[in-house]
Every structure is written in structure tokens, then in C-alpha cells.
């Protein structure tokens, strides 16, 4: 999840994604408890949008929603703080931003701490413009849909 000798993109994608998901969960809890009706509507819209997505078959829509709120902060934090990264040996063809997303999804692979969660990565990242940019997904492709969910 974190290894000091690895590039920042890998560590942000590993530990940063876990922290972002936890913060997203706290954010959702706070909005449920203390939010106004407009907040409740926005959360319901985001939840509904995620379930209609290309990769909507996930174990928990609430977990996915928490990750959705966290991934925006993760990408923003990485962009603000990371400098040029060294490449991971054997993966030099990937950019730093691509490595961020690869590491984030690797945490969900079978054998890692969260089990096999392939649909979660696709279900979430299809709505992240930085993912589509990093991997040059064509407009309208499954991982770059013309209609994206909005997360507050």
C-alpha cells in the first residue's frame, strides 16, 4: 500500500486511495446527518447515476459512492503535490497519472487487502475525466461516457 522507494503516483494510488475512500465515507455520513434537503437530493442523484452506469454491478453502491467522493480529492492532491516521478521498473511506458490509477485499482485485485473488485474500478473511473485523459479514451467509449455522474 505504501513503499517509500516507489514513485509518488504508486503511493498516492495505494495508500492515498484508501484514505480518500475513508474520507469520502465520512463526508457521506456528515451529509446524511447534517445536510440540507438539497444535499440529500444531490446524494440520491449521484447514487442513482452510479447504479445506471456501464459497470453498475458492484457489491455496495455506498462503498462506490464513498470512493467516488474520495477519488476527486486523491487526483487533486496528487496533481498539487507530486513532482516528476521515476518510472516503476518494467512499467516505464505508463505516465505518472496512469500509474496513479493502476495502483489504485491494484489495491482491489484478488490477493490484495480488498479482494477481487475489478467492477469497482471500472464503475468508478468511467466518471473520472483525468482517467480518460490519462489513457486517451475516446469520447463516448465505456471509460469516457458522454454523460458523467456528478459528485457534489
**pLDDT tens, 9-45?**
888 888 888 898 899 999 889 988 888 888 888 888 8
Reported as a single tens digit per residue, the pLDDT across 63-110 is 888 888 888 889 998 988 876 677 788 888 998 899 999 999 887 775
pTM of the model: 0.82
3-state secondary structure of 41: helix
Q: What is the DSSP string of 46-79?
A: HHHHHHHSTT---S-HHHHHHHHHHHHHHHHHHH
Q: What is the pLDDT at residue 144?
A: 93
Domains of the chain with CATH codes: 8-134 (3.40.390.10)
Q: Tell me which residue has cell 518494467.
A: 90
Nearest Cα to Cα of residue 150 among 77, 44, 9, 54:
44
Cα(27)–Cα(122) distance, integer angstroms: 22
Amino acid at each position: 500500500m505504501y513503499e517509500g522507494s516507489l514513485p509518488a503516483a504508486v503511493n498516492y494510488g495505494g495508500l492515498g486511495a484508501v484514505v480518500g475512500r475513508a474520507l469520502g465515507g465520512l463526508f457521506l455520513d456528515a451529509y446524511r446527518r447534517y445536510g440540507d434537503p438539497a444535499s440529500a437530493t444531490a446524494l440520491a442523484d449521484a447514487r442513482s447515476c452510479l447504479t445506471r452506469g456501464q459497470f453498475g454491478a458492484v457489491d455496495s453502491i455506498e462503498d462506490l459512492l464513498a470512493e467516488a467522493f474520495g477519488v476527486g480529492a486523491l487526483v487533486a492532491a496528487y496533481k498539487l503535490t507530486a513532482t516528476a516521478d521515476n518510472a516503476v521498473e518494467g512499467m516505464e511506458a505508463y505516465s505518472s497519472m496512469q500509474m496513479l490509477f493502476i495502483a489504485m485499482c491494484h489495491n482491489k485485485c484478488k490477493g490484495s487487502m480488498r479482494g477481487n473488485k475489478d467492477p469497482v474500478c471500472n464503475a468508478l473511473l468511467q466518471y473520472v475525466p483525468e482517467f480518460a485523459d490519462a489513457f486517451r479514451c475516446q469520447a463516448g467509449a465505456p471509460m469516457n461516457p458522454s454523460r458523467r455522474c456528478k459528485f457534489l
